[in-house]
Structure 1
Amino acid sequence: MTDRWARAEERYRAREADRRYPRRDDWGLDPRAPRAEEPMAEPVSWDDYDDDTNVIPRYEDEVPEAEPEPAAAPRRVGQRGAAAERGDAKPSGRGRPAGRGKASGRGKKSRIASRKAAERKRRRRNMWVVGAVFALLVVAAGGFAGYKVMSSFTPAADFAGPPGELVVVQVHPGDTATQIAAVMHERGVVASSEAFYEAAVQNTGMNSVQPGYYAIGERSPAADAVAALVGGQSRVGNVVVSEGRLLHDKHDVGTGGRYDGIYRKIAEASCVGPDGRCVTYEELDAAGASLDLAGLGVPAWAMQAVSECPDRARQLEGLIAAGTWDFDPTGTPQEILRQLITTSVQAYESTGLLQSGADTELSPYETLIAASLVEREAKPEDMGKVARVIVNRLQVGQMLQFDSTVNYTLDTTEVATTDADRARVTAWNTYAMEGLPKTPIAAPSVAALEAVENPEPGAWLYFVTVDKQGTTKFTDSYQEHLRLVTQAQSSGILDSSRSGSGG
């Protein structure tokens, strides 16, 4: 207040000096003197003086919302308030009383400014959050990249050897090196799939690995496991069934040598390791005679005929097809037979077996029986004609009279048969019965099966092999057939080493 009064007194003295000693400019006018046309300004009152020193500047967006002022008590005109009488009153905005409209405008601006300030604060907070997340992602990516780089310098886990007990692993058709590596690791053959894969990609023989089962020692070094797989010596459960092979062993009449049956071949292929246990011929024979036909994998289209087989030991004849098959050697005899029969049935049905019979009038199982006869009687180039002979004879009710059906139940066999053999009544001897045998007499090939499904057109009823080169002649005349039989006898084809003549 002292400064305020001092400045006011100084200005008052300046005005008094100008009034007493007026100064004139070049125009002859005193800018401080009142003009004639204008009335003399009223002396400034202390209450009207605008003291700029008490005005504190404020930013509009920081002005808080004005609160309503309490209503003042009424007073008389000209009455000054107690504060004015004390000299404490302050001018309200350059001598103008603050109005309600201005207070309302300030309040609105204050609210808008508050919202903008809050929005700016929220945006800054979101930017910090996004920045923090981005930083975490960058750090995580860098860490992962560093891990991969470090891993590339760390060798994959591997066993030092030597290999332990043999483990049987399966390679499925279409398996990649990565999939094989995973199986090897799961079965405990190698310490890690990475080690096996690294060894596999360095061995070009991996491209020739065949699907099947392999016996490899557990805890093997990866390189040794790959070498065992590629070498082929570790393969187990792989059996080759030749065309026309029977389930049981046969012996040659002349030499006495054993002609191994399918059961014998399976038993040999089931051995795991030089000292490992093998499924025996006798175990397979017993399993094949089981009444649990579904458990053996017998298909529905063969179930009735197989259940009516007069000899249980022969009931599965023909259901294991000729070909190369894989089976799990660690399975039981029943499981092994079911696996082989199931695979063979799929091969049979792929030829259209279930849709055949419109021309031949044969059921799927009868078609399989006829195919086994074709397999035993004909060379591949003659299969279509031999199939037609079978169909023609069945349709006219003529006996088939095939020597192969006579030999089927004999322990010792040859091409020619004796009169005694042909007179022997069995469920398979077509010299002593009409129609087809009760079961197939051998494992037919797919070619033989297709020949019966679509036999070559012709009226043939007879055929005979006339020389040792396998030349076969076909005819529909019985007289011509007798002439061809004589020719075959002259060449020694139908001579029996026992007794009697061929027919």
Structure 2
Amino acid sequence: MVMRALPQNIDPPHMSRAEARKQREARNKRAKRGKKVGVLALLVLVIAVLGVGAYGALWYMDRNKAAEDFAGPGGAPVVIQINSGETASEIGATLEAKNVVASSAAFYNAAIANPSEIQKVQPGFYQVPVQSSAASALDSLVAPDSRVGSVVIAEGRQLHDSSDAQTGSLKKGIYNLISEASCVGPVSAQKCVSTDELNTAGASSDLASLGVPDWAMSSVKSVPDKDRQLEGLIAASSWDFDPTATPTEILRSLVEGSAAKYEATGILTAGSGVGMSPYQLLVAASLVEREALPGDMAKVARVIVNRLAVDQPLQFDSTVNYSLDTTEVATTDADRERVTPWNTYAMPGLPATPIASPSIDALKAVESPAAGDWLYFVTINKEGQTLFTKSYEEHLANIELAQQSGILDSGR
């Protein structure tokens, strides 16, 4: 057998010995770097494995902790807020933060076990007992009396209470409705924001703290009766507010939300077409709300625009009624003769403030009134039929029809 010599590192014939030595030194350095990189990669891998293991241990421990649940039955109620679009896990986290449930995961499990119940939970504020079991916390959320800070403001509602001259029934004002919705705590010891507290807050000269928008600021500053300065600035809508907030904070949340609703209609620019500022549009819309049925709103808006254009008093009974505690459709001669900042029989132009919270439809009607030359209108029967005319003589004849139907009969 022929023995072969082992390969030797022979320098290429064209290289000098110095050049060959430099190449060998470079190869040795690369080899050493390679070993270091390998050791470093191995170290990183070990750290990663240890990290995953530690994370897994923490996850396992948190998982066990998350399964904790209170036995119940629960203690004093606290108020929590649920926002639109929140998941069961997010609601559970809120409840855990408020000490209502022991863990968000326990609530999540209760929600998964009762899908029909969790679907009933709507955005808003709720009072639920602390240290409740997850299942009982879910039951509390869907209980009819758990919702707090929820108020519905109907179209045409005013800030203050009034009574009907015909029936004697009380029509609750916005402040009264807010007060009722603000009550929290056990039935035996409920705490509510009073109507007087709301009225005092609403009369503050610090209009910015009340959320009054810039486009209404100068007009509201000049309102002669500060108790009425927020009239019309709380829109007709369904509202949720934090019942644990101060009266000023509650009103600010409602006024700011209302301003956003009004601005979405185009109120900031629509007045250029009818010669009104944004605040004047709101005032006119409140008149339309109190004077017209939905189908006639655009026509009544046109009557307002036409009368203002010729400086003719509006002569709306709704403006006479505004400053009265007892109201009815038919006003008396004495009522109409009373000079107030709102009585449009006693002065030309618009009232000092809105006379109620207008609907968005009423506001849109003023922003885009119907085409017409009408200066007068009167509702002639209890079905709401309303006749419009430019002629005063025709208007007088229409009033006779209204009198014959009994719609203008007085209860006073």
Is the TM value for this pair above 0.5?
Answer: yes
2:286 corresponding residue in structure 1: 372
For residues 259 and 58 of structure 1, do their structure 2 counterparts lie closer, same or farther at Cα, with a shift above 3 Å needed?
closer
2:12 corresponding residue in structure 1: none
What SS is found at the alignment partner of 1:251?
Answer: strand
Greater shift in the superposed pair: 273-282 or 200-209: 200-209
Separation (CA, whole Å) in 1 of partners of 2:58 and 2:403: 84
Match of 2:121 among 196, 209, 226: 209
1:259 corresponding residue in structure 2: 171
2:319 corresponding residue in structure 1: 405
For residues 388 and 134 of structure 1, do their structure 2 counterparts lie closer, same or farther at Cα, with a shift above 3 Å needed?
same
Opposite residue 181 of structure 2, the aligned amino acid is: A
- Number of equivalenced pairs: 401
Runs of 5+ consecutive residues of structure 1 not aligned to the other structure: 1-56, 62-103, 499-503
| Alpha carbons 2:297, 2:365 under 8 Å: kept | yes
| Alpha carbons 2:233, 2:357 under 8 Å: kept | yes
Q: Deviation at 1:127? A: 3.1
1:82 corresponding residue in structure 2: none
Q: Deviation at 1:123? A: 3.5
Match of 2:274 among 357, 360, 373: 360
For residues 340 and 150 of structure 1, do their structure 2 counterparts lie closer, same or farther at Cα, with a shift above 3 Å needed?
closer
Q: Deviation at 1:297? A: 1.5
Deviations 1:153-197 (CA, angstroms, capped at 9, x unpaired): 776122222222221111122222232222222222222222222
- 1:187 lines up with 2:98 in the alignment: yes
Q: Deviation at 1:276? A: 2.1
Q: Which has the larger radius of gyration?
A: 1
What SS is found at the alignment partner of 2:272?
Answer: coil
For residues 290 and 123 of structure 1, do their structure 2 counterparts lie closer, same or farther at Cα, with a shift above 3 Å needed?
closer
Deviations 1:393-438 (CA, angstroms, capped at 9, x unpaired): 1101111111101111111111111111111111111111111111
- 1:221 lines up with 2:133 in the alignment: yes
For residues 141 and 392 of structure 1, do their structure 2 counterparts lie closer, same or farther at Cα, with a shift above 3 Å needed?
same
2:236 corresponding residue in structure 1: 322
For residues 127 and 193 of structure 1, do their structure 2 counterparts lie closer, same or farther at Cα, with a shift above 3 Å needed?
same
- 1:270 lines up with 2:172 in the alignment: no
Report the TM-score when normalising by structure 1.
0.74
- The two structures, once aligned, show a CA RMSD in angstroms of 2.6
For residues 114 and 367 of structure 1, do their structure 2 counterparts lie closer, same or farther at Cα, with a shift above 3 Å needed?
closer
Separation (CA, whole Å) in 2 of partners of 1:304 and 1:119: 80
| Alpha carbons 1:60, 1:110 under 8 Å: kept | no
More relative contact order, 1 or 2 (CA 8 Å, 6+ apart): 2
Separation (CA, whole Å) in 2 of partners of 1:270 and 1:464: 40
Separation (CA, whole Å) in 1 of partners of 2:132 and 2:106: 11
1:230 corresponding residue in structure 2: 142
Q: Deviation at 1:258? A: 1.3
Separation (CA, whole Å) in 2 of partners of 1:432 and 1:221: 64
| Alpha carbons 1:60, 1:109 under 8 Å: kept | no
2:364 corresponding residue in structure 1: 450
For residues 149 and 336 of structure 1, do their structure 2 counterparts lie closer, same or farther at Cα, with a shift above 3 Å needed?
closer
For residues 154 and 345 of structure 1, do their structure 2 counterparts lie closer, same or farther at Cα, with a shift above 3 Å needed?
closer
| Alpha carbons 2:149, 2:241 under 8 Å: kept | yes
Separation (CA, whole Å) in 1 of partners of 2:178 and 2:407: 33
- 1:162 lines up with 2:76 in the alignment: no
For residues 427 and 144 of structure 1, do their structure 2 counterparts lie closer, same or farther at Cα, with a shift above 3 Å needed?
closer
For residues 320 and 109 of structure 1, do their structure 2 counterparts lie closer, same or farther at Cα, with a shift above 3 Å needed?
closer
Opposite residue 397 of structure 2, the aligned amino acid is: R
Map 1:94-493 → 2, pairs under 5 A: 116=27, 119-120=30-31, 122-138=33-49, 140-141=51-52, 144=55, 156-204=67-115, 205-273=117-185, 274=187, 275-493=189-407
Separation (CA, whole Å) in 1 of partners of 2:405 and 2:58: 82
Runs of 5+ consecutive residues of structure 2 not aligned to the other structure: 10-15
Deviations 1:297-331 (CA, angstroms, capped at 9, x unpaired): 11222122212112111111111111111111111
Opposite residue 280 of structure 1, the aligned amino acid is: S
Separation (CA, whole Å) in 1 of partners of 2:254 and 2:408: 36
| Alpha carbons 1:244, 1:376 under 8 Å: kept | yes
Give the helix-richer structure, 1 or 2: 2
What SS is found at the alignment partner of 1:357?
Answer: helix
For residues 483 and 108 of structure 1, do their structure 2 counterparts lie closer, same or farther at Cα, with a shift above 3 Å needed?
closer
Separation (CA, whole Å) in 2 of partners of 1:60 and 1:451: 101
What SS is found at the alignment partner of 1:214?
Answer: strand
Q: Deviation at 1:237? A: 0.5
Q: Deviation at 1:209? A: 2.3
